[in-house]
């Protein structure tokens, strides 16, 4: 299934027959992102490896509740999903719950994927969305949750996701649009303090803030409009937006959380 992420040549024992690149297996997980940290892409890998080697269930307190995972999986299940790829699958909590006969997950962090591979039967690989190690038209469905905001090159990543989808395939992407400082504070109050005081969750959030605070290498700002533009430039038609306004029962962490359901445009 895998191809060379650089030139899309076929691989034999993880060696590219076109450009000669060789990709190692690390504890059974292919790594399509090797080399020293000088390059921006390797830097991204190193920062996430550092985060995942010091923290577990890193984003669990950011709206990835069981209810949310069930809601997102049902949304995916309502669309064709036989072959499915999760981009930026992290530790694989969602990947394990998602439907699909042939599931794949990619992430720059080998530490995250080691956990994802234990949680789910999906095939996992170290890779970036900007250089996917899959042939064109390989998937019925691609999903990403909280990842688009962190792409170094959103246009390249979106075009790659479109390339690996079959014609009419769907991309379901959850993104966090920007919040002002006061909106961020209000969100945390609602999450931990009022109307329900959640001392354990609050304590573990504070601990995470003080002990090795999590700083992702990149965060791009999005509005609904700019995210929509990016998806359309990448070759998608926007089919549906799931927001707190459109779907009040949807278990989303706030009104800044948007799920785009988009489809590969014909031709
Ligand atoms: C905020 S975390 C979300 C992780 C997971 N989707 C979740 O919801 O638990 C962002 C994830 O995107 C991955 N990531 C960052 N840049 C990426 C890129 N260019 N391509 C693919 N994944 C990327 C990170 O390693 C990290 O696991
Ligand atoms: Zn190659």
Burial 129-164 (b: 16+ CB within 10 A, else e): bbbbbbeeebbbbbbbbbbbbbbbbbeebbbbbbbb
CATH class of segment(s) 40-178+214-264: alpha beta
Taking the centre of ligand 2 as the mean of its atom positions, its distance from the CA of residue 2, in whole angstroms, is: 11
pLDDT of residue 38: 57
Nearest CA to ligand 1 atom 8: 145
Per-residue pLDDT of the chain (267 residues; tens, 9 = 90+): 999 999 999 999 999 999 999 999 999 999 998 665 558 888 999 999 999 999 999 998 888 999 999 999 999 999 999 999 999 999 999 999 999 999 999 999 999 999 999 999 999 999 999 999 999 999 999 999 999 999 999 999 999 999 999 999 999 999 999 877 787 787 778 888 888 888 988 887 787 777 778 888 888 999 999 999 999 999 999 999 999 999 999 999 989 999 999 999 987
Phi first, then psi, for residue 149 (nearest 5°) are -65, -20
Nearest CA to ligand 1 atom 1: 146
Q: Where are the domains of the chain?
A: 40-178+214-264
Q: pTM value?
A: 0.93
The first and second tokens of residue 93, run together, are: 């909590």
The first and second tokens of residue 246, run together, are: 């459109």
Which ranges of the chain does DSSP label H, i.e. alpha helix?
40-54, 66-77, 93-97, 110-119, 154-164, 181-188, 199-210, 224-233
Taking the centre of ligand 2 as the mean of its atom positions, its distance from the CA of residue 18, in whole angstroms, is: 5
């Amino acid at each position: 299934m895998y191809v060379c992420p650089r030139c899309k040549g076929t691989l034999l024992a993880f060696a590219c027959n076109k450009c000669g690149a060789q990709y190692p297996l690390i504890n059974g997980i292919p790594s399509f992102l090797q080399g020293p940290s000088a390059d921006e892409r390797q830097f991204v890998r190193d920062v996430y490896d550092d985060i995942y080697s010091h923290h577990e269930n890193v984003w669990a307190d950011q709206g990835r509740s069981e209810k949310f995972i069930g809601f997102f999986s049902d949304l995916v299940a309502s669309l064709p999903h036989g072959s499915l790829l999760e981009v930026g699958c992290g530790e694989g909590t969602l990947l394990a719950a998602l439907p699909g006969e042939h599931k794949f997950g990619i992430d720059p962090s080998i530490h995250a994927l080691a956990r994802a591979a234990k949680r789910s039967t999906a095939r996992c690989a170290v890779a970036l969305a900007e250089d996917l190690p899959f042939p064109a038209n390989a998937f019925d469905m691609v999903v990403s949750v909280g990842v688009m905001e962190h792409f170094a090159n959103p246009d390249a990543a979106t075009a790659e996701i479109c390339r690996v989808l079959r014609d009419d395939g769907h991309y379901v992407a959850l993104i966090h649009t920007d919040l002002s400082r006061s909106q961020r504070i209000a969100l945390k109050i609602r999450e931990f303090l009022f109307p329900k005081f959640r001392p354990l969750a609050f304590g573990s959030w504070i601990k995470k803030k003080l002990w090795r605070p999590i700083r992702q290498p990149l965060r791009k700002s999005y509005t609904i409009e700019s995210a929509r533009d990016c998806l359309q430039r990448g070759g998608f038609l926007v089919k549906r937006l799931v927001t707190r306004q459109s779907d009040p029962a949807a278990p989303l962490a706030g009104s800044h959380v948007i799920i785009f359901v988009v489809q590969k445009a014909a031709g």
